[in-house]
């Protein structure tokens, strides 16, 4: 498989009033093209920090990060981020929020008709074509997150970065959006890195689960290959022995780490 995101000997520290805090140390990870990787660990283990480094929102204190063979030196349209907070502009419709991103990336090279088509295609991909002219206050939380995903995908990114995008949603909406995300990523063939606290979510969605040790100086404790056939359906996996084994292995890792800290 082709290497697409490479994280090599990454070290990240922050200066605080209490002195220097080492968030990440000796982090090494390769993500292949089209792969879905989940980052999981206890709060404070540096999951979001690592995701922000790949996004280019932070610069590492040490080490190198590469995307498609190029050093990550800042944010770029090749890497789109979806946060837990959807961050939609309230004065723009769903269409307008997505169009803004499309225009930013492609506006210099394409006419308005093509930009409009890209926007419509992105909204259709997440099932929101009928809500295109609605404003954020007129739609549900789950729909807002779908707009955020549409906005990210409308930029045709090489890498989709997700920081607990379903964390604030109710269980049913979360489950539905997890199914939607699997379908969308499969259709787009996007390389995906997702931060999550949810063991079931990690086992359901990912090709590999990267388990982080506790901070400070967090690193990768274990990587679990998830060999479940795609497409996946939650109900089909509910009693699948392999799925239950993966879930159990992640829980065991997290529990043992919690016990050691306590």
- pLDDT digits over 157-194, tens only? 999 999 988 877 788 888 888 888 898 888 888 999 99
Q: How far is CA 222 from the centre of its chain?
A: 19
* pLDDT confidence of residue 97: 96
Q: Is the pLDDT of residue 62 over 90?
A: yes
Kindly report which listed range (147-151, 154-158, 170-174) carries the lowest average pLDDT score.
170-174
d(CA 168, CA 86): 10
* pLDDT confidence of residue 83: 84
Q: Is the pLDDT of residue 141 over 70?
A: yes
Structural domains of the chain in order of their starting residue, each with its CATH number: 1-73+192-262 (3.40.50.300)
CB count within 10 Å of CB 89 equals 11
227: left (phi over 0), alpha (psi -120 to 50) or beta: beta
Question: Who has greater pLDDT, 16 or 219?
Answer: 219
* pLDDT confidence of residue 262: 41
The proportion of the chain whose per-residue pLDDT surpasses 90, expressed as a percent, equals 66
pTM score: 0.90
Question: Who has greater pLDDT, 242 or 87?
Answer: 242
Q: Is the pLDDT of residue 200 over 90?
A: yes
What rounded mean pLDDT belongs to the chain? 91
pLDDT, tens only, 98-121: 999 999 999 989 999 999 999 999
* pLDDT confidence of residue 235: 87
Q: Is the pLDDT of residue 123 over 80?
A: yes
Q: What is the DSSP string of 163-183?
A: ESTTTTS-HHHHHHHHHHHHH
Any idea what DSSP says for residue 218?
B
* pLDDT confidence of residue 258: 58
The residue-averaged pLDDT of 56-75 equals 94
């Amino acid at each position: 498989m082709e290497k697409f995101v490479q994280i090599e000997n990454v070290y990240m520290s922050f200066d605080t009033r209490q002195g220097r805090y080492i968030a990440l140390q000796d982090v090494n990870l390769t993500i292949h093209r089209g792969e879905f990787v989940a980052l999981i660990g206890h709060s404070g283990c540096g999951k979001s920090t690592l995701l922000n480094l790949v996004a280019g929102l932070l610069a590492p204190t040490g080490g190198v990060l590469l995307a498609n063979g190029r050093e990550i030196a800042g944010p770029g349209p090749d890497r789109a981020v979806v946060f837990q907070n959807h961050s939609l502009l309230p004065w723009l419709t769903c269409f307008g929020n997505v169009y803004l991103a499309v225009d930013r990336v492609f506006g210099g090279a394409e006419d308005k008709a093509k930009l409009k088509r890209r926007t419509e295609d992105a909204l259709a991909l997440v099932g929101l074509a009928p809500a295109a002219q609605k404003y954020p206050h007129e739609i549900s939380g789950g729909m807002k997150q779908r707009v955020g995903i549409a906005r990210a995908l409308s930029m045709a990114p090489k890498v989709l970065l997700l920081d607990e995008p379903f964390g604030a949603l109710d269980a049913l909406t979360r489950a539905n959006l997890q199914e939607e995300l699997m379908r969308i990523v499969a259709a787009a063939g996007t390389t995906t890195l997702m931060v999550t606290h949810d063991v079931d979510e990690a086992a359901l969605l990912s090709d590999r689960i990267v388990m982080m040790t506790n901070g400070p100086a967090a690193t990768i404790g274990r990587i679990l290959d998830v060999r479940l056939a795609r497409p996946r359906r939650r109900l089909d996996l509910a009693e699948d022995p392999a799925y239950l084994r993966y879930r159990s292995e992640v829980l065991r890792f997290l529990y043992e780490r919690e016990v050691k800290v306590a």
